[in-house]
Amino acid sequence: MRDFDGRDGIMLFGGIPVTEIAEEFGTPVYVTDESRLRENYRRIYGAFSKHMDTKIHYACKANTSLAILKILEGEGSGIDAVSVGEVMTCIKAGFTPDRIMYTGVNASNEELAAVTELGVTVNIDSVSALERLSKIKTGLPVSFRITPGVGSGHSDKVITGSKGSKFGIPDKSVIKTYIRAKELGFEPKGIHAHIGSGGQSAEPFSDELEVLIGYTNELKDLGIDLDFIDIGGGIGVPYRPNEPEMDIDELGASLTEMILEETDVRTIILEPGRYIVCDTTVLLTRCIDVKDAGTKKYVGVDAGFNTLIRPAMYDAYHHVALGNKFGKACTAKYDVAGPICESGDYLAHDRALPNPEEGDTVVVYNAGAYGFSMSSNYNSRPLCREVLIGGGRAELIRDSECIEEQWRHQRIPERLIR
Ligand code: LLP
């Protein structure tokens, strides 16, 4: 987990006291550090590109904020998109369609038509999608997502590559599908898999790559030469204090060596989401209420699972600190709970905190990946603000919604109006 500095007991984020940011922009607010974002991108790109031609397709589902996309566009990233909405958002941020690959699961004909119309490469997830796409447009360069039979992830809910998964083309159909694609007039350019998200071990990536290499060489023997192997995303990051980081240089060296030694493919694509954005961002939330419930003590804050769903949904650990009592001695253990009317609405369980009081600025770490992008209007709460810290300044990159926006698409039938 990333460490932060403090000054006079106040935590600094991007060089600015978090209390000032919370004061200026209100809470809850997601705050992103631009320099860390650039560093993360450069670190992962460098770890692979020093060995072979590398394309980073940032998995924008982790965070689709336009300002963040714009920064990554400037860094030279490509995009892994899963919906027409993501494709259009990335185009809006300045990505040209040739830098975007669409990997939809259960993609409808309408979506396939829309993304091909926009000119992005389609990574096909099933035989059905191949046949349906051929009726919309053929002659396209395509890639296929296969089920590698290798899964990894921080929770069962995010493991995607195991045998029997809903994702990808199963083992027995892979070669037949490439042959069929050629018959239909497509140009197969690559092969893709994604094992899952947030795994912290390198081994599943090499197991996955071994499977991809096997197919690549089998296809070559059949006269189908691929340009790229796409290993998907899923590289985990440490969420807990003192948790080790994955050795990204070692991963880059070993995976590229496998491709270079065992195949004729000379381009690797990877699709990190979490690795690029996770530790760039904190969520600032305000302590509203402190309660001693006898068997438990609570810090009640103004961000619930409407703002950050990961703890409630995956039991995910997010470190919390009091930004205005930074480094102070902890007095007791608390659950940090939000304003949503469900007992499952919490951000953290059993955390030692330094005498929390109403008004304290609570900092939730590692909130950049699947934070804002999974937030919702549940309990009719507006989506919150986002701020970017860059060049020593804090700037609003997304304003909070107003309540009226939640009514915008609703209609009350005339007969109900008296
Ligand atoms: N590529 C594909 C095809 C994916 O499905 C995903 C994530 C990624 C890349 C990026 O994975 P990453 O590098 O971010 O681990 N909401 C969950 C994570 C779901 C990930 C879904 N697919 C969470 O909050 O942990």
Both 253 and 353 in a single domain? no
Both 305 and 184 in a single domain? no
Distance in angstroms (rounded) separating the CA atoms of residues 380 and 237: 32
CB 3 within 8 A of CB 366: no
pLDDT at 392: 86
How many angstroms is it from 397 CA to the middle of ligand 1?
A: 23
Output 393-396 pairs: Cβ under 8 A, ≥24 positions apart.
394/14, 394/16, 394/20, 394/21, 394/24, 394/25, 394/31, 396/25
Last residue of a domain, one of 213, 243, 277: 277
Both 118 and 136 in a single domain? yes
Asked if the structure places residue 1 within a domain, the reply is no
CB 17 within 8 A of CB 23: no
Please report which residue ranges of 235-387 form alpha helices under DSSP H: 248-262, 274-277, 310-314
Please give the residue range of the domain that contains residue 387: 6-32+279-407
Does ligand 1 have an atom closer than 6 angstroms to the CB of 310? yes
Asked if the structure places residue 415 within a domain, the reply is no
Last residue of a domain, one of 219, 252, 277: 277
Atom of ligand 1 nearest to the CA of 236: 15
For residue 272, how many other CB atoms are within 10 A of its CB? 27
Asked if the structure places residue 286 within a domain, the reply is yes
Q: Which of 80, 197, 280, 307 to mutate to test the pocket of ligand 1 (most atoms within 8 A of CB)?
A: 197
Does ligand 1 have an atom closer than 6 angstroms to the CB of 274? yes
Both 307 and 259 in a single domain? no
Both 369 and 356 in a single domain? yes
Q: How far is CA 41 from CA 99, 197, 275, 296, in A?
A: 16, 18, 8, 41
Bridge partners of 388, per DSSP, are: 32, 395
CB 143 within 8 A of CB 150: no
Does ligand 1 have an atom closer than 6 angstroms to the CB of 233? yes
pLDDT at 147: 97
Asked if the structure places residue 374 within a domain, the reply is yes
Q: How far is CA 301 from CA 121, 201, 407, in A?
A: 43, 34, 26
Annotation says 60 is catalytic = no
| Count of domains observed in the chain | 2
Both 65 and 143 in a single domain? yes
Q: What angle do CA 98, 104, 107 make, to 5 degrees?
A: 120
Atom of ligand 1 nearest to the CA of 278: 14
Asked if the structure places residue 412 within a domain, the reply is no
Low pLDDT (below 70) residues in the chain: none
First to last CA, the chain: 58
CB 30 within 8 A of CB 371: yes
Does ligand 1 have an atom closer than 6 angstroms to the CB of 62? yes
Asked if the structure places residue 414 within a domain, the reply is no
Q: Specify the CATH number for the domain of residue 171.
A: 3.20.20.10
Atom of ligand 1 nearest to the CA of 374: 16
Does ligand 1 have an atom closer than 6 angstroms to the CB of 235? yes
- Mean pLDDT taken over the chain: 97
Asked if the structure places residue 417 within a domain, the reply is no
Asked if the structure places residue 63 within a domain, the reply is yes
Q: Specify the CATH number for the domain of residue 360.
A: 2.40.37.10
Both 319 and 393 in a single domain? yes
Both 293 and 235 in a single domain? no
Q: What angle do CA 14, 338, 311 make, to 5 degrees?
A: 75
Both 38 and 28 in a single domain? no
If you take atom 19 of ligand 1, which residue's CA is the nearest one? 158
Distance in angstroms (rounded) separating the CA atoms of residues 55 and 50: 12
Both 227 and 359 in a single domain? no
Q: Which of 61, 154, 160 to mutate to test the pocket of ligand 1 (most atoms within 8 A of CB)?
A: 61
CB 139 within 8 A of CB 187: yes
Both 267 and 329 in a single domain? no
Atom of ligand 1 nearest to the CA of 273: 14
CB 386 within 8 A of CB 30: yes
| pTM greater than 0.95 (yes/no) | yes
Last residue of a domain, one of 277, 292, 320: 277
Q: Which tokens in the block code for residue 408?
A: 């915008």
Catalytic member of 90, 341, 384, 402: 341
CB 287 within 8 A of CB 353: no
Both 205 and 311 in a single domain? no
CA atoms within 13 A on the CB side of 369: 24
How many angstroms is it from 194 CA to the middle of ligand 1?
A: 9
